[in-house]
Amino acid sequence: MANALTIAGSDSVGGAGLQADLKAFEALGVHGCSVVTCVTSQNTKRVSSIFPIPPAEVANQLLSVLEDVKLDAVKTGMLYSADIVKTVSMHLRGVRAPIVVDPVMAATTGGELHVEGFAEALMSKLLPMAALVTPNIPEAERLSGVKVKDERSAKRAAREIMELGPDAVLVKGGHLKGPDAADFLCWDGRIIKVTSPRLDVEVHGTGCAFASLIAGNLALGLELEDAVRTSKSMIFKAVLAREKVGLGVPCANPLAVLRIEAQKAAMLQELEEAASRLEQVMDPALIPEVGTNMGYAVLGALEPDEVAAFDGRVVRCGTKARRIGCARFGASKHVARIVLAASSRDPEARCALNIKYSEDNLALCRRAKLSVTSFDRAREPKGVSSMTWGVLDAIDRRGGVPDIIFDRGGVGKEPMIRLLGGSPQEVLFKLERIVAGRPRG
Contacts of 295 (CB under 8 A, 6+ apart): 307, 308, 309, 332, 335, 336, 338, 339, 351, 352, 353
Q: Is 364 a residue whose pLDDT tops 70?
A: yes
Give pLDDT, residue 301.
94
Q: Is 375 a residue whose pLDDT tops 60?
A: yes
* pLDDT grade for 111, boundaries at 50, 70 and 90: low
| Distance separating alpha carbons of residues 314 and 331, to the nearest angstrom | 13
**Domains identified in the chain, total number:** 2
Cβ(434)–Cβ(403) under 8 Å?
no
Q: Output the average pLDDT for the chain.
A: 93
Q: Is residue 441 part of a domain?
A: no
The three-class DSSP label of residue 42 is: strand
Beta-carbon count within 10 A of 305 CB: 14
Q: Is residue 190 part of a domain?
A: yes
**pLDDT tens by residue, 237-279:** 999 999 999 999 999 999 998 999 999 999 999 999 999 999 9
CATH code assigned at 192: 3.40.1190.20
| Distance separating alpha carbons of residues 390 and 422, to the nearest angstrom | 19
Give pLDDT, residue 290.
85
| Distance separating alpha carbons of residues 234 and 30, to the nearest angstrom | 15
**pLDDT tens by residue, 397-408:** 999 999 999 999
Identify whether residues 201 and 278 lie together within a single domain.
Answer: no
Q: Is the dihedral of CA 421, 424, 428, 429 positive or negative?
A: negative
| Distance separating alpha carbons of residues 9 and 77, to the nearest angstrom | 7
Identify whether residues 321 and 238 lie together within a single domain.
Answer: no
* pLDDT grade for 316, boundaries at 50, 70 and 90: confident
What percentage of the chain's residues is helix, strand, coil (to nearest 5)? Answer: 40, 25, 35
| Residue range of the domain that includes 231 | 3-254
H or E element in which residue 216 lies = helix 206-219
Identify whether residues 421 and 388 lie together within a single domain.
Answer: yes
| Distance separating alpha carbons of residues 425 and 91, to the nearest angstrom | 57
Q: Give the rounded percent of residues in the chain with a pLDDT score beyond 70.
A: 98
Identify whether residues 197 and 287 lie together within a single domain.
Answer: no
Identify whether residues 211 and 268 lie together within a single domain.
Answer: no
Identify whether residues 329 and 382 lie together within a single domain.
Answer: yes
Give pLDDT, residue 266.
96
**pLDDT tens by residue, 52-86:** 999 999 999 999 999 999 999 999 999 999 999 99
403 half-sphere exposure, CB direction, 13 A CA radius: 18
CATH code assigned at 390: 3.40.225.10
| Distance separating alpha carbons of residues 173 and 184, to the nearest angstrom | 7
Calculate helix-pair angle for 224-240, 256-281, nearest 10 degrees.
Answer: 70
Give pLDDT, residue 110.
63
**pLDDT tens by residue, 147-200:** 999 999 999 999 999 999 999 999 998 878 877 899 999 999 999 999 999 888
